[in-house]
A and B are shown apart, each in its own frame.
Chain A
């Protein structure tokens, strides 16, 4: 059967035919023990998508959402009754009623690596078990609807040791990473100069070469290869790829989010939530303000504030917020007193803030408090493990449950973590 140039096959549907042909030889993939055993069942199903906004570097709490008089920024009124927040986030301030503010998050890990691992897993860093998954991987697996391949765990911005890791859950739950929101997909299309006829010829040759090989040579990996090949073609041909195309948003909306790196990324986050991608993480860096605290935060906020306000506004007004869990958090806060250089703040894990809401959680609550300086927690402390437990519980995953790691050892999801008061 030759490709008939007279046929008016569009390139996409042509490739689709190949995908179907490939899938026909689909064999169940070979899974490792820990991939097979870790079935995550859900009790609560409100949440279809989780957005995790990772303020990487340690967001100063007294200058932002736990505003204190000693802040380098003026305070502005927020939509949370009686609460002022840092002026740099004046637009976001108006949307805060959609989420809840937790002012009493704490940990005892003061280095970026360890604190980020803690933030993303609820566990302290553990060198002996390097394949612990980020909660992104766990949630992507729990919320996996199956069907044709499409990434369920998506990360944007900078990565580190823990961000995007599927760990022992298998590489299907490693994140699909996007470096540039304007060009999120690479290697997705064959080169333009290859005609459809040639594509067809290539696949035909490939099938021939593969046929005798897989019919004779055995290995579990070869079966996985078939599955992956089919997944790759699924992905390449997926109609859902449109979700990555920011040009489909109105110009007005693009301007509202901001035509800049952060704005584009946040807009893509919104589109991914609309497409019900289970776990979306956007890391915004630059928060490690050991010096030039005011200037650096202003710079971040210049693009983050409008983008974040736009995101919360749109999620709220469209109703998408009811099925989308939104969490904004950080590794640790920053010292309420200025550092010895006079213009910076150092790491401060003793008290920091998180915004959490959507997904059927209550809205507008303010949990916990710190003293007037922002140094000591005065009510309702929330450990990072508690925070992770709450996120899991919101997704309907039992935080006291266990998974099995690649050594067969039990991996507790959020051991001892208590759900934040009134949240789930």
Chain B
């Protein structure tokens, strides 16, 4: 298969466009760079998916939920870009991406010393405002002070300010490199990553620690070892002095009182300028010396005495010439939207990792810089390409190709279906059932008091409720054995620990779970049910079935599906179609929600 160079391909395409002249629908023959580059690589131009499929795909991947009924009824390919722009402004987009970034950053709604859900709120607001990504990262990595005033600092509280843990997570999440191996030994096959390099990265975070108990709290003993001898002596002298002049002057009761009065309501990210990091002692290597901060892969930073090392690190990380930082997040966003990755895993771009279509990644990086690293701008750029709107991958295509290269190319030119994640399942059930909220029920059916949110503002995790409009309101990590956990929502213990693999629990939850069973009943029995109201108007169950298909699958039922519905509902089990058939409604809703079609994005 001969592949044209990009330049030549562009020339050819533009020439065709010019020759073709007026009358062409320019949206179909778009000159979107993403498409031009991919087409030059694969030698193929993509076929588009149907409008119904495109709308549903776009809605699920941008907003974490299936489309609204009126969107299904009004979307056309011409309005694609307009719909994309509208979606990006909606709060559901901020909700959904705060879940994705929250999972990446191991956010927990409940953390000791942190106001409830403070970090998630910070993420959601940052996304909603379309804050440049490099700004967001800068805020997190250079955060200082009380976390209720500066919730970006929760980034440090999460790992208790431990420089080694911070380095590992910064490495994985922002730099795209797993370095944990090097905590204990030189990297097995990457010569450029030794134990010293690991500690060199950690040294950037040596000055940061987390105060949790009371104002003016001193460094814990194990951190004080990392002062230079001179600074260490000075620090110890300060501690001694305080002990003599303050602590020892109080009896236990007074001390307890003092601690209470000076207790920190919330954790403080504290900064100790002279605090360094010593290389550990071990059997096989000398240690104990102060480690110089070192950028990954060996470059030496220039750090003035007493300067906040994190600032130096962030300047390097987010600098124009450090494309790696940008490409790591581009890859992540791209994978979520397009269904394939430039490199995997997303958090470990090794020197010998294969990178697919590096020119396209380069191009996206250039664009991302022009967009001032704003994530929603990047998303818009991606979803308005033809490649995003490419047709679904079909079984017969897959069976026809043999080699791995051909299989790969198929993924690029056809959209591979994948299972919905927990957030998409929850939000789609809620929207698809036309309910205002979805009530999570435990197996023994315990429910709590109802409360509704106000309109307009972002939704946030709720501490005590059980009814939710959006999955973002459920505190993270989700409770084990809860509805969301059955669908793989992770425990927020590791980066991206949401699971996308299928489990028996999910199937059982959909087949027999209380949460969904109650939902079907409310769809047929609630006075306010959209479906009942529809029947009251139309007096025809067939129209209700149609409404169910449009609500849950975002499409019209096919003829054979309608035929089966007729056949089944006119059995001697049911009466005629002009009587409201609550049971049939529930049964159809159950079937739609258990279908593979509902549970996948394609």
Determine the interface band of chain B, counting residues with CB < 8 A from chain A: 35 or more
Pair B394/A187 contact, Cβ less than 8 Å: no
Q: Which of B536-567 contact A (CB under 8 A)?
A: 553, 558, 560-561, 564-565
Q: Does A130 sit within 8 A of B, measured CB to CB?
A: yes
Pair B600/A217 contact, Cβ less than 8 Å: yes
Q: Does A161 sit within 8 A of B, measured CB to CB?
A: yes
Q: Which of A169-211 contact B (CB under 8 A)?
A: 170-171, 174, 176-177, 179, 183, 186-191, 197-198, 201-202, 204-206, 208-210
Q: Does B397 sit within 8 A of A, measured CB to CB?
A: yes
Which residue from chain B places its CB closest to the CB of A220 in the assembled complex? B416
B-binding segment of A91-99, A221-229, A338-346? A221-229
1/0 per residue, CB under 8 A from B, across A390-424: the answer is 00000000000000000100000000000000000
Pair A171/B587 contact, Cβ less than 8 Å: no
1/0 per residue, CB under 8 A from B, across A229-249: the answer is 101100110000000000000
Contact residues in A for B493 (Cβ distance below 8 Å): 130, 161
Contact residues in A for B346 (Cβ distance below 8 Å): none
A-binding segment of B30-38, B178-186, B301-309, B464-472? B178-186
Q: How far is the CB of A125 from chain B (nearest CB, A)?
A: 11
Contact residues in B for A231 (Cβ distance below 8 Å): 504, 507
Q: Does B274 sit within 8 A of A, measured CB to CB?
A: no
Q: Does A28 sit within 8 A of B, measured CB to CB?
A: no
Which residue from chain B places its CB closest to the CB of A170 in the assembled complex? B501
Q: Does B597 sit within 8 A of A, measured CB to CB?
A: yes
Set B397, B443, B514, B553: member contacting A218, Cβ < 8 A: B397
1/0 per residue, CB under 8 A from A, across B470-481: the answer is 000000000011
CA distance A181 to B489 in the complex (A): 25
Set B397, B398, B504: member contacting A228, Cβ < 8 A: B504
Set B183, B393, B506: member contacting A219, Cβ < 8 A: B393
Contact residues in B for A202 (Cβ distance below 8 Å): 587, 590-591, 594
Set A187, A209, A218, A224: member contacting B502, Cβ < 8 A: A224
1/0 per residue, CB under 8 A from A, across B559-602: the answer is 01100110010010100000000010001101110111101101
Pair A221/B508 contact, Cβ less than 8 Å: no
CA distance A4 to B602 in the complex (A): 38
Pair A225/B393 contact, Cβ less than 8 Å: no
Pair A221/B393 contact, Cβ less than 8 Å: no
Q: Does B497 sit within 8 A of A, measured CB to CB?
A: yes
Determine the interface band of chain A, counting residues with CB < 8 A from chain B: 35 or more
CA distance A363 to B559 in the complex (A): 70
Contact residues in A for B597 (Cβ distance below 8 Å): 209-210, 213
Given contacts A187-B512, A209-B592, contact A130 B494 (CB under 8 A): yes
Pair A228/B392 contact, Cβ less than 8 Å: no
Q: Does A149 sit within 8 A of B, measured CB to CB?
A: yes
Q: Does B168 sit within 8 A of A, measured CB to CB?
A: yes
Pair A198/B417 contact, Cβ less than 8 Å: no
Pair B512/A189 contact, Cβ less than 8 Å: yes
Contact residues in B for A179 (Cβ distance below 8 Å): 481
Pair A208/B181 contact, Cβ less than 8 Å: no
Contact residues in A for B587 (Cβ distance below 8 Å): 198, 201-202, 205
Q: How far is the CB of B188 from chain A (nearest CB, A)?
A: 8
Set B504, B568, B594: member contacting A149, Cβ < 8 A: B504
Pair A210/B595 contact, Cβ less than 8 Å: yes
Q: Which of B183-207 contact A (CB under 8 A)?
A: 183
Contact residues in B for A215 (Cβ distance below 8 Å): 395
Which residue from chain A places its CB closest to the CB of B515 in the assembled complex? A187
CA distance A2 to B574 in the complex (A): 13
Q: Does B511 sit within 8 A of A, measured CB to CB?
A: yes
Contact residues in B for A159 (Cβ distance below 8 Å): 480
Q: Does A216 sit within 8 A of B, measured CB to CB?
A: yes
Which residue from chain B places its CB closest to the CB of A225 in the assembled complex? B596
Further 7 A-B residue pairs, CB within 8 A, beyond A205-B587, A228-B504, A232-B511: A186-B443, A188-B512, A198-B583, A213-B596, A222-B417, A235-B508, A407-B345
5 contacts between A and B (CB under 8 A): A130-B493, A197-B573, A209-B595, A228-B502, A231-B504
Nearest first, the 9 A-B pairs at minimum CB distance are A128-B180, A205-B591, A186-B443, A219-B417, A232-B507, A187-B508, A130-B494, A218-B395, A209-B595
